[in-house]
Amino acid sequence: MKTLRGWVYCRFGLAFFLNFASLASAASAPHLALKAVERREVMLPIDDFSLTDQSGKNFHFKNLQGKVVVVAFSYTTCPDICPLITAALRQVQTNLSNEERKNSHLLTVTTDPEIDSPKVLAGYAKRYGAELGGWSFLTGDESTLKSVWKNFGVGVKRKARGLVDHTPLTAIVDRHGVLRFAYVGPSPDVKLVLRDVRFLISDS
Amino acid sequence: MIFSAGCGRNERMDAVYAQRCLNCHGAGGRGDGPMAASLPVAPPDFRDTVERKGNPQIRRLIADGKGLMPAFEPALSPSEINDMLQMVRFLSREGRQISWWEKFDTLVVAHCSIPWEAVLGYDEPAAEKKL
């Protein structure tokens, strides 16, 4: 018993020393350089696609024809830029008038289907206070998503479970299913996005 | 070997913190990470709040997320969440006088060579789950 107690004390003593010695290197982690958002005007027809929304229902992109659609690509366990994109979309939704909401829709398409099930997406949407009547969170099988990512020109590279590198794209698609404005970067300017959405709503 | 290497803060904890937390919370937990200035709500300096919270509370917060902080439960194994918790504890204790019970907690909880997964019934992360 004495031997065991001595072993435990010695072991905890060493742990105590190493724990506090290791604190000296606390500030040595790498840093992320934040790039500015780039806004591009494009004319890219988007092919129809079918995915699954946060409530587990089938979602068909073609059903949004006649509406201006803001499409963002992100994933729920993203530790850097996705929260900024989703927060920006939340602000966009908040600032749209009732009439503008009838003529527009927001989409968040996951870049990590391995983690982002409909249930996980529903929790994510709730945390951000998304009004789900005008905002859908989409997932699906990887092959379908790959074609959607490719269609929008989004590159996706899995680094680890729940950790994905992807193009930080927020795209605005007009009433006819043509991608017109692309914001590439961490946090699209809400005022610019609103201006572009309103322009496309009023553009017959 | 009784006094094996790898006790206390280790590379696994550093890696999980650097990958998932550092961008917002900063290297020391002060809320001054490279993304912090861009966030609509500034991340808090967690060193003080962590001091007042129990391990289950912190583990729940990491698992479920809060505000803009992601919910990590779907992506991380319980032992990885535990690594994150240990790291947060280490950083919260840096540069301040700690109480005797906190030292005891450090000794017991942060001792990585104790097979916590086996003791607490955690699943070992599958090969592809490892960072």
pLDDT at A21: 29
Q: What is the mean pLDDT of chain A?
A: 85
When CB atoms are compared, the residue of A31, A84, A120 closest to B39 is A84
Judge whether residue B32 has pLDDT over 50: yes
Distance between A164 CA and the closest CA of chain B, angstroms: 11
The pTM assigned to this predicted structure is 0.77
Q: Is the pLDDT of residue B101 over 90?
A: no
Give pairs for B60-66: CB < 8 Å, separation 24+. Answer: B62/B88, B65/A127
- In chain A, which residue's Cα lies nearest the Cα of B63? A77
% residues pLDDT > 70 (chain B): 66
β-pairing, A58-60 vs A50-52, is antiparallel
Cβ neighbours for A29, distance < 8 A, ≥ 6 positions apart: B14, B17, B18, B22, B27
- Write down the pLDDT at residue A33: 47
Write down the pLDDT at residue A13: 36
Q: Does the distance separating the beta carbons of B19 and A26 come in below 8 Å?
A: no
Instruction: Provide, as residue numbers in chain A, all residues whose Cβ is less than 8 Å from the Cβ of B18.
Output: 29-30
Are the beta carbons of A15 and B65 separated by less than 8 Å? Answer: no
Is the confidence at residue A120, as pLDDT, over 90?
yes
Q: Is A118 on the interface with B (CB under 8 A)?
A: no
Q: Which single residue is written with the structure tokens 């992807």? A: A166
Residue A187 vs residue B122, higher pLDDT: A187
pLDDT bin (cut points 50, 70, 90) of residue A92 is very high
Q: Contact, B75 vs A162, CB < 8 A? A: yes
Amino acid letter, residue A155: G
For residue B31, give how far its alpha carbon lies from the nearest alpha carbon of chain A (Å).
13
Q: Residue B10: count other Cβ atoms within 10 Å of its Cβ.
A: 18
Option in B68, B71, B74 nearest A87 (CB) = B68
**Looking at residue A99, what is its pLDDT?**
95
Q: What are A140's two structure tokens?
A: 């699906």
Q: Is A3 on the interface with B (CB under 8 A)?
A: no
What percent of chain A is predicted at pLDDT more than 90? Answer: 78
The answer on pLDDT for A6 being more than 60 is no
A8 compared with A201, residue with greater pLDDT: A201
A197 in Cβ contact with A68 (< 8 Å): yes
Shortest Cα–Cα distance, A151 to chain B (Å): 27
Question: Is the CB of residue A168 less than 8 Å from the CB of residue A70?
Answer: no
